[in-house]
């Protein structure tokens, strides 16, 4: 059997998991009114059907003060048992086991019920740096209520049919706040000594044990290194694990904290982090405690999970984003088809990125994720038609794959020698090589469904007249565009030309970033790493403003370490000799930058839609998608490609 460790059964108490793959608890923005919705049930059922051994359901609040967003599940009353049972039953029906996370965020609050900031409660008056939350110290009666809430919520989940629950003591949430002496400055029985700081969690464990069946599983998720000067480090967390392990059935380890920028970047680690980088700490915990240990953190391929398990570092591997990108990943791996897996590329844009925008979860490569009720089943075409797709970027590849999957004859024409479009350039940016996986994955998907890909093939009127397609999907993308710049700017180059190697930069560079995306900060990082003095002039409030929050934190950190000077709120209007001229957009005052050898511009592209007039004149049915419709990101391109593939 391929991946023998990954697909060996595993047992805790009387519960047997069919394999070692689990989906960690993660926010989806799919709950409605604090309960599992039809969309959440469909989302989790897809991953269970895809072969996961265990699904840990996203955080469920144990007390009314735990409502950290409006999309939180709540387990605070008995009338919630039946709705949770529907979710649990749907997952069990596919052969997958179910745990539910028990949660209180303490000071880490985002919610605004009735449009106002709610009060936060924590062990002490310890303001949260990232969210600027100033909590009120919990009185002992409130602590007792919350501890009781852990027990009662666990009881409800057991009655709903769950196989276990998991206390969320990771990422700087309430149990971790009690454990951390730099956050917990209490002088009563819940603060001070190491044992006192563990008291809250011990009492929560006892409250749960008192109300659930003996065979019901109880675990705890914890961060090893919180990656912040005021956070817990691995030695602290190891001591906590050793102390609490006798009362737990398993430990689930990860890294990071929600409280700070440096720590939050590890909540959902990006492609800038090494694969399986938390595994060494997991192994330490396993050896120290002798308990089952689960681990996550950039385990996005079955080969990586197999290595972690074979080394003895852990007993179960969290592969959450791997199954967001490809719900069928476990089944494909078990069948010996790893090349068919749509591997997660760690971009974070539509998974955690959607949650942070208040949107339901999805995936830029697989827009069906989070939209299972609409798109999980693609209707077969009633009539086989001949479809031409113009352009082999993400939009065109997805459109072609979906149209072919439905039974059409599909021909994709790409004028370059390779598919991928602008993703081929994006993968050249620092810490972005894995982004090229979107090309590999979408090209393989199209070929698997029988799309004929014509490379070095320009679609012209003559080709259309010869092939006589029933419909055309125009996904020709966009082209770089240099905005008008006053003066004689000999030093002016486009960011794409730097990436493609068509231009070189001097030793003193200004990067003008109108977009606030990967390209501007990536070019700045690349040139600074090569030894140039770089100033990054951004037409935003900060660098990388358009990038998912955690990745922005990492990016800004690297720019700072390289000495890149970031100047926000600027609009370029002129350049002359070695001088660049800007307007400070809020004040409308002039800003001048001297001694500029090269001015690199990252500006909006212009859509490639020249065939529209030809198609309209020929009266050929057509669909305009992706950048050819309006330059945006790969996420919109793939989503619109899917929709076009369903429409033809």
| Topology (CATH level 3) of domain 492-604 | FAD/NAD(P)-binding domain (3.50.50)
Map tokens 């951004």 to a residue.
538
CA angle in degrees (0–180, nearest 5) for 460-466-472? 60
Q: Which residue(s) pair with 251 in the sheet?
A: 220, 293
Per CATH, 10-373 and 492-604 having the same topology is answered: no
pLDDT tens, position by position, 211-266:
999 999 999 999 999 999 999 999 999 999 999 999 999 999 999 999 999 999 99
pLDDT score, position 115:
85
DSSP state letters, 229-288: TTS--HHHHHHHHHHHGGG-SEEEEE--BTTSHHHHTTTS--TTSPTTTTHHHHHHHHHH
pLDDT higher than threshold 90 for residue 396: yes
pLDDT score, position 1:
78
Q: Contact 401/648 with Cβ under 8 angstroms?
A: no
d(CA 391, CA 125): 57
pLDDT higher than threshold 80 for residue 489: no
d(CA 365, CA 630): 19
Where helices occur in 138-193 by DSSP H, the ranges are: 140-159, 174-179
Q: Contact 455/414 with Cβ under 8 angstroms?
A: yes
Q: What is the mean pLDDT of residues 99-106?
A: 98
Q: How confident is the model at residue 70 (pLDDT cuts 50, 70, 90)?
A: confident
d(CA 55, CA 316): 12
DSSP state letters, 275-315: TTTTHHHHHHHHHHH-S-EEE-SS--SHHHHHHHHHTTS-S
3-state helix, strand, coil in the chain (%, to 5): 35, 20, 45
Backbone angles phi, psi at 556, to 5 degrees: -60, -35
pLDDT higher than threshold 90 for residue 101: yes
- Give the percent of the chain with pLDDT over 70: 100
Q: What is the mean pLDDT of residues 546-558?
A: 97
How many other β-carbons are positioned within 10 Å of the β-carbon of residue 7?
20
Q: What is the mean pLDDT of residues 11-38?
A: 98
Backbone angles phi, psi at 571, to 5 degrees: -125, 125
139: exposed, middle or buried (C-beta count within 10 Å: 0-12, 13-18, 19+)?
Answer: exposed
CA 365 to centroid of chain Cα atoms: 12
pLDDT score, position 202:
98
Q: Contact 439/415 with Cβ under 8 angstroms?
A: no
- Identify the CATH homologous superfamily for domain 10-373: Aldolase class I (3.20.20.70)
What's the mean pLDDT when you consider all of the chain?
A: 97
pLDDT score, position 561:
98
pLDDT score, position 60:
97
CA distances from 596 to 155, 393, 497 (A): 66, 35, 18
pLDDT score, position 113:
79
In the 8-state DSSP scheme, what is residue 160? T
Tokens coding 199: 């008291």
Q: How confident is the model at residue 491 (pLDDT cuts 50, 70, 90)?
A: confident
The H or E element containing residue 331 is helix 329-334
Nearest residue to 297 (alpha-carbon basis) of 316, 326, 317, 312: 317
Tokens coding 22: 């689990």
d(CA 169, CA 219): 10
Tokens coding 537: 């002039």
Q: Which residue(s) pair with 602 in the sheet?
A: 513
pLDDT score, position 480:
95
pLDDT tens, position by position, 438-453:
999 999 999 999 999 9
Q: Contact 23/323 with Cβ under 8 angstroms?
A: yes
CA distances from 362 to 29, 30, 48, 226, 638 (A): 10, 11, 17, 27, 12
SS3 584: strand
d(CA 391, CA 399): 10
d(CA 361, CA 349): 10
In the 8-state DSSP scheme, what is residue 378? P
pLDDT score, position 488:
79
CA 297 to centroid of chain Cα atoms: 12
CATH code of 378-480+607-647, in short, is 3.40.50.720
pLDDT score, position 270:
95
Q: Contact 600/521 with Cβ under 8 angstroms?
A: no
Q: Contact 461/612 with Cβ under 8 angstroms?
A: no
pLDDT tens, position by position, 151-174:
999 999 999 999 999 999 999 999
d(CA 497, CA 428): 12
Q: How confident is the model at residue 112 (pLDDT cuts 50, 70, 90)?
A: confident
SS3 250: strand
Nearest residue to 347 (alpha-carbon basis) of 602, 516, 529, 518: 518
In the 8-state DSSP scheme, what is residue 162? -
CA distances from 240 to 172, 197, 515, 540 (A): 14, 10, 45, 43
Backbone angles phi, psi at 122, to 5 degrees: -145, 175
618: exposed, middle or buried (C-beta count within 10 Å: 0-12, 13-18, 19+)?
Answer: middle
pLDDT score, position 326:
98
Domain boundaries, the chain: 10-373, 378-480+607-647, 492-604
């Amino acid at each position: 059997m391929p991946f023998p460790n990954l697909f060996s059964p595993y047992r805790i108490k009387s519960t047997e998991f069919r394999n070692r793959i689990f989906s960690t608890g993660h926010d989806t923005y799919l709950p409605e009114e604090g309960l599992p919705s039809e969309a959440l049930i469909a989302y989790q059922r897809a991953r269970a059907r895809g072969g996961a051994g265990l699904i840990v359901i996203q955080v469920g609040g144990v007390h009314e003060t735990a409502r950290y967003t409006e999309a939180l599940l709540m387990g605070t009353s008995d009338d919630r048992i039946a709705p949770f049972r529907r979710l649990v039953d749907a997952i069990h029906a596919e052969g997958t086991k179910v745990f539910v996370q028990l949660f209180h965020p303490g000071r880490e609050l985002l919610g605004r019920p009735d449009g106002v900031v709610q009060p936060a409660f924590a062990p002490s008056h310890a303001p949260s740096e990232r969210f600027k939350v100033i909590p009120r110290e919990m009185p002992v009666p409130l602590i007792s209520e919350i501890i009781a809430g852990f027990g009662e919520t666990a009881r409800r989940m057991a009655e709903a049919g769950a196989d276990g629950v998991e206390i969320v003591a990771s990422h700087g949430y309430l149990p971790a706040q009690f454990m951390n002496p730099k956050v917990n400055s209490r002088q009563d029985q819940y603060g001070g000594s190491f044992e006192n700081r563990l008291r809250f969690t011990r009492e929560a464990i006892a409250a749960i044990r008192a109300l659930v069946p003996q065979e019901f599983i109880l675990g705890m998720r914890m961060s090893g290194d919180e990656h912040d000067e005021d956070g817990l480090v691995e030695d602290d967390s190891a001591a906590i694990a050793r102390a609490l392990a006798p009362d737990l059935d398993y430990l689930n380890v990860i890294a990071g904290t929600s409280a700070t920028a440096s720590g939050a970047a590890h909540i959902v680690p990006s492609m800038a982090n090494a694969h399986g980088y938390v595994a060494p700490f997991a192994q330490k915990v396993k050896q120290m405690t002798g308990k089952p240990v689960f681990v996550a953190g950039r385990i996005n391929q079955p080969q990586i999970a197999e290595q972690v398990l074979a080394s003895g570092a852990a007993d179960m591997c969290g592969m959450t984003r791997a199954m967001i990108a490809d719900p069928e990943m476990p089944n494909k791996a078990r069948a010996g088809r790893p090349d068919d897996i749509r591997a997660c590329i760690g971009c974070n844009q539509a998974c955690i990125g959607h949650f942070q925008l208040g949107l339901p979860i999805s995936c830029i490569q697989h827009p069906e994720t989070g939209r299972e009720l609409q798109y999980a089943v693609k209707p077969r075409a009633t009539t086989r038609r001949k479809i031409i797709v113009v352009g082999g970027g993400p939009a065109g590849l997805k459109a072609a794959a979906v149209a072919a999957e439905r039974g059409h004859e599909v021909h994709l024409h790409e004028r370059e020698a390779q598919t991928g479009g602008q993703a081929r350039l994006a993968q050249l940016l620092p810490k972005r090589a894995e982004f090229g996986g979107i090309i590999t994955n979408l090209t393989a998907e199209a070929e698997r469904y029988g799309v004929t890909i014509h490379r070095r093939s320009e679609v012209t009127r003559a080709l259309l007249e010869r092939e006589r397609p029933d419909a055309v999907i125009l996904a020709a993308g966009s082209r770089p565009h240099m905005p008008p710049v006053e003066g004689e700017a000999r030093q002016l180059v486009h960011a794409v030309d730097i990436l493609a190697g068509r231009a070189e930069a001097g030793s003193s560079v200004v990067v003008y970033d109108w977009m606030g995306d990967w390209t501007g900060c990536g070019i700045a990082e690349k040139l600074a790493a090569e030894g140039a003095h770089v100033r990054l002039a951004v037409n935003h409030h900060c660098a990388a403003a358009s990038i998912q929050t955690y990745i922005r934190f990492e990016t800004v950190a690297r720019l700072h370490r390289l000495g890149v000077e970031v100047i926000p709120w600027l609009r370029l209007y002129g350049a002359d000799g070695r001088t660049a001229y800007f307007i400070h957009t809020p004040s409308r005052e002039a800003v001048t930058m001297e001694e500029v050898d090269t001015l690199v511009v990252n500006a909006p592209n212009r859509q490639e839609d020249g065939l529209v007039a030809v198609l309209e004149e020929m009266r050929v049915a057509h669909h305009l998608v992706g950048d050819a419709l309006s330059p945006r990101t790969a996420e919109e391109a793939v989503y619109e490609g899917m929709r076009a593939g369903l429409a033809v």
